[in-house]
Homo-oligomer: A and B are copies of this chain.
Amino acid sequence: MDTRNLIGNNYLPEAGKKFKAVDPALGTDLPGEFYAASISEADAAVNLAYKAFAEYRQTDKNKRAAFLRSIADEMKVLTDAIIERAMGESGLPAQRLQGELNRTTNQLYMFADLLEEGSWVEAIIDTAIPDRKPLPRIDIRKMMVPVGPAVVFGASNFPLAYSVAGGDTAAALASGCPVVVKAHPAHPGTSALVAEAIKKAAEQHNMPEGVFSILYDDGFAIGEALVKHPKTKIVTFTGSLRGGMALMKMARERDEPIPVFAEMGSINPVILLPQALENRAEELAKIYGSITTNAGQFCTKPGLLIAVNSEGLEKFKKSLAEGIATVNSATMLTSGICSNYNKLSKERLAEDAVSVIAQSDKLDKEKINQGLAIVTEITASAFLADEKYKEEVFGPYSMLVVADDIAQLEQVLNSLHGQLTASVMAEPGELSKYKSITDKLADMAGRVILNGPPTGVEVGNAINHGGPFPATSDSRFTSVGTSSIKRFVRPVCWQNWSEELLPDELKTNNPLKIWRLFNNEWKK
């Protein structure tokens, strides 16, 4: 593991403020020293990325695909080291991290496939019609092109799938944008191992130097310098609302404002409809797993359950309480996240309006930074009276909002802000009776789910992971799946351009055999 800052193919001298990774379960330092990068190093990384961009954007798509595959392959070679280190740094269990590593490499393969297939560039061609009246039509051809250097912030809760070679990096590199990663200080060692895999793959495929760099910092200065660098063209971030908003502010106050794709807070409401509660309360109560797995540290954790008072609901609460009581404490990602969880959940419990449905006491006393599962209850009218209940409590926490009737349930729903997901539990045929509810779910969220938990995000073509503010900074783009490549591109059209100088994607004879809208007809 080489812990030094990396710009292009060169590790930088060990200099600057040192910091170490901490095992959150024990509070002890992990091996290896990291060095906070300097502002001039941040500057150099983006400048090199910009220089690399001119060449990288024009790389043959199959070569770029091979590069992505090699990153995944090199990560697999390092599997044991990566998982061991990630366990130490994140407190997450091996099985989860193995799953996350598989997801990460699969994402890279997925984008490689997407590149090879090639149609993602949305090529549209209108050929000339010289005798059109009143004016001739000129030949115009459009496709998506990469925007330039991307700054990717590693996420604390996905040390692999949303960090150094995660979804953002994979999509950016696939699109033709070089990447400068700001490693998350909670898992710098995991980051360093993955960076080695990318470096090796870049060298192996003779990628232009600067297509990838990674910088460390346990403070905010380097992140800020990267976002403010005039040659940075796009920023991706997954984390808190506060962090995301701060980056958005920096990005829009630049001389040239740039987009920040920030995934921030979401409480992922789950509606429990009356018939479903009546027929299968115990089964529905299994949602406690989605609330508590990996200490509830998912952006799609169901933080709000909404139902109408009923006998079924009482059964649900009973089963839910039984389930929650069986959940062992789990190590949270960092001591900061754990203390914030304890603070927020205690604040909720201290409110008169809030009662406890269930609280686990199965604390692992050998470890520190343990998150204990809690589900609380509140009446709809109390919920509606206080904005704070709409804020995310990051950790194994959820709140049941009990409405008097469906009208009040709808009121609760209508009061919510934008969400990543919104779910509904319903019996067959029951859903069609509540059209205004299902319409509202699709209006508020990026993904709506029937009879299933919101956690466990499928990575594919049809997934949408994003939602109206404040769930994300830009609901028009997904951060998961093949469509997430669209964040890194913009359209350019060539008018009356010389056939031989057009990009292959736009040449008349379609040498890449991609799908195109050709004179208003979709064809290959």
User: Which one of B142, B462, B483, B501 lies within 8 Å of A141 (CB-CB)?
Assistant: B462
A398 CB–B CB distance under 8 Å: no
Distance (whole angstroms) from the CB of A449 to the closest CB of chain B: 4
Interface residues of A in 112-158 (CB under 8 A from B): 119, 124-126, 134-135, 137-138, 140-142, 145, 147-148
A243 at the interface (CB under 8 A from B): no
| Interface flags, A361-394, vs B, CB<8A=1, else 0 | 0000000000000000000000000000000000
Docked Cα-Cα span, A464 to B257, in Å, equals 20
Q: Does A492 contact B (CB under 8 A)?
A: yes
Q: Which residues of B contact A438 (CB under 8 A)?
A: 501
Question: In whole angstroms, how far apart are the Cα atoms of A496 and B54 in the complex?
Answer: 43
Within 236-268 of A, Cβ neighbours of B (below 8 Å) are at 248, 252, 256-257, 259
Q: In residues 471-520 of chain A, which contact B (Cβ within 8 Å)?
A: 473-476, 478, 483, 489-498, 500-501, 515, 517, 520
Question: Which stretch from A66-74, A284-292, A323-331, A450-458 is at the chain B interface?
Answer: A450-458
- Interface segment among A21-29, A308-316, A440-448: the answer is A440-448
In the complex, the answer to whether A497 meets B450 with C-beta atoms within 8 Å is yes
Q: Assess whether B475 is in contact with A140, with CB atoms less than 8 Å apart.
A: no
* A463 lies within 8 A of chain B by Cβ: yes
B466 with A491: CB separation less than 8 A:
yes
Distance in angstroms from A175 CB to nearest chain B CB is 12
Q: Would you give the shortest CB distance from A136 to chain B, in whole angstroms?
A: 10
Chain A positions 407-454 with a Cβ under 8 Å from a chain B Cβ: 417-418, 428, 431-432, 438-439, 442-443, 445-452
Do residues A458 and B140 form an inter-chain contact, with CB atoms below 8 A? yes
B490 close to A476 (CB less than 8 A): yes
Q: Which of B445, B460, B493, B497 is A126 in contact with, Cβ under 8 Å?
A: B460
On whether A445 and B522 interact (CB within 8 A), knowing A124-B461, A147-B475, A462-B140, the answer reads no
Q: Does A469 contact B (CB under 8 A)?
A: yes
Q: CA separation between A438 and B125, bound complex, in Å?
A: 19
Chain B residue nearest in CB terms to A475: B490
Q: What distance in Å separates the Cβ of A78 from its nearest Cβ neighbour in chain B?
A: 21
Q: Is the CB of B462 within 8 A of A489?
A: no
A119 contacts B493, C-beta separation under 8 Å: no
Complex CA distance for A515 and B523, rounded to whole angstroms? 11
Measured between alpha carbons, how far is A468 from B56 in the docked complex, in Å? 20
**Cβ contacts under 8 Å, A447 to chain B:** 492-495
Docked-complex contact B476 and A446, CB < 8 angstroms = no
Known A138-B458, A452-B138: A432·B493 in contact at CB below 8 Å: no
* A490-B469 Cα distance, complex, nearest whole Å: 12
11 A-B pairs with C-beta separation under 8 A: A99-B134, A142-B464, A256-B417, A442-B492, A446-B490, A448-B495, A450-B496, A461-B517, A464-B492, A476-B489, A476-B490
Using CB atoms and an 8 Å cutoff, list the residues of chain A in contact with chain B.
Answer: 54, 58, 99, 119, 124-126, 134-135, 137-138, 140-142, 145, 147-148, 248, 252, 256-257, 259, 417-418, 428, 431-432, 438-439, 442-443, 445-452, 456, 458, 460-464, 466, 468-470, 473-476, 478, 483, 489-498, 500-501, 515, 517, 520, 522
